[in-house]
Amino acid sequence: MHASNPLPTRDAIVATAGESIARGSQSFALASRLFDRPTRERAWLLYAWCRRCDDLADGQDHGGTMGVVDDPAERLALISARTERALAGEVIGDPAFDALRIVAAECRIPPALPRDLVQGFALDAADWRPRDENDLLTYCYHVAGAVGVMMAIVMGVDPEDGDTLDRACDLGLAFQLANIARDVAEDAAAGRCYLPRDWLTEFGIAPGEQMDPRHRDALAAIAARLADRAEAHEASARTGAARLPFRARWAVLAAAGIYGDIARTVRARGAHAWDRRAVTGKGAKLAWVMRAYFQARGTHGAAVKRDGLWTRPATG
């Protein structure tokens, strides 16, 4: 009889997760380098699971152009089943889902949070479209805000510290609002639209016609609104970051600046926002790392209140 293959070690799974974040997101990979080693490894583990789920749902390989998924419901069922097994402590044999098993156990991540993210994939599988701003932010919570909450727990925030976790959620919301503003054309090409129906109606854009050149000025106004919302949530998140240990605070502030610049670029370009993809260049990223260092070392200023901001559901 042949000896069974040994199970991958934690170090091996961490190494694979590090490769995943390096391929999938240069911005997050750079920010993660600012963490202390235990936090960095756990951030990589969480990222690897999120990235794998996203790729399975969208037919991608570490992001990029969305592929054709013949049976979205089947993909969703696979994601959900493997996630539940990982949360139950089972060895999956897929490094990304084993990464979730490890980080969830080490950081006491409430199972409701990974399940909230899976619900975001369910919305996409159902070809869901937001009717209004509340719908939009609910979606942003499921696909990004929940990740922000989990990341805060990875950074050592108590799972019972609701206000700090709400502010971590705000950072995820800010990131996703920036993504939506930037990716309007790419989403339209894939048959998706995350712009609220009532916003489109307000600006005289019929469903499915958001990329009609006649609507560029109106679309730019909607993108500016998204960027404004993103900035409000980013400001709240910065207040939450002040409660983190220094290196975690540095990483969060760097990521906030790097990603925030995407929304600000889209807003500044106006009707030309989608002529080319809005990105934060390498030099600008390094500048944010330096700026965030001094922000993290300095005084934090007056706390920004969350009054009027959308808040994640209590079950999350």
In a domain, 124, yes or no: no
217 lies in the same domain as 162: yes
Residues 139, 174 within the same domain? yes
Q: Do 150 and 292 fall within a single domain?
A: yes
Domain of 47 in residue numbering reads as: 8-109
Tokens of 313: 């559901």
End-to-end CA distance of the chain: 48
Identify whether residues 94 and 48 lie together within a single domain: yes
| Number of domains into which the chain is organized | 2
Q: 256 lies in a domain?
A: yes
Identify the sign of the CA torsion 248, 39, 290, 21.
Answer: negative
Residue 119 lies in a domain: no
Question: Would 162 be classed as within a structural domain?
Answer: yes
Distances (CA, A) of 82 to 49, 109, 260, 269: 10, 16, 33, 42
CA nearest to 123, candidates 206, 61, 67, 57: 57
Same domain, 32 and 160: no
**Nearest one of 266, 277, 128 to 197, comparing CA atoms:** 128
The answer to whether residues 215 and 102 belong to one domain is no
Tell me which of 109, 142, 159 is where a domain ends.
109
SS3 57: helix
**295 lies in the same domain as 246:** yes
Count of CB atoms situated within 10 Å of the CB of 255: 27
SS3 sequence, 223-237? HHHHHHHHHHHHHHH
- Give pLDDT, residue 41: 97
In a domain, 134, yes or no: yes
CATH number at residue 265: 1.10.600.10
Please report whether residue 184 resides in a domain. Answer: yes
How many whole angstroms separate alpha carbon 171 and alpha carbon 287?
20
Residues 211 and 303 in one domain: yes
SS3 118: helix
Q: How far, in Å, are 134, 135, 196, 197, 284 from residue 131 at the CA level? A: 8, 6, 5, 5, 36
Side chain identity, residue 138: T
Q: Which of 54, 79, 109 is the last residue of a domain?
A: 109
Clarify whether residues 232 and 299 are in a common domain: yes
Domain presence at residue 13: yes
Residue for token pair 């300095």: 298
Per-residue pLDDT in tens (0 to 9) along the chain, 316 residues: 444 556 789 999 999 999 999 998 888 899 999 999 999 999 999 999 999 999 998 775 554 555 556 688 899 999 999 999 999 999 999 999 999 999 999 999 999 999 999 999 999 989 899 999 999 999 999 999 999 999 999 999 999 999 999 999 999 999 999 999 999 999 999 889 999 999 999 999 998 999 999 999 999 999 999 999 999 999 999 999 999 999 999 999 999 999 999 999 999 999 999 999 999 999 999 999 999 999 999 876 678 899 999 999 875 4
287 vs 145: CA distance, rounded Å:
26
183 within some domain: yes
Distance of alpha carbon 45 from alpha carbon 151, whole angstroms: 10
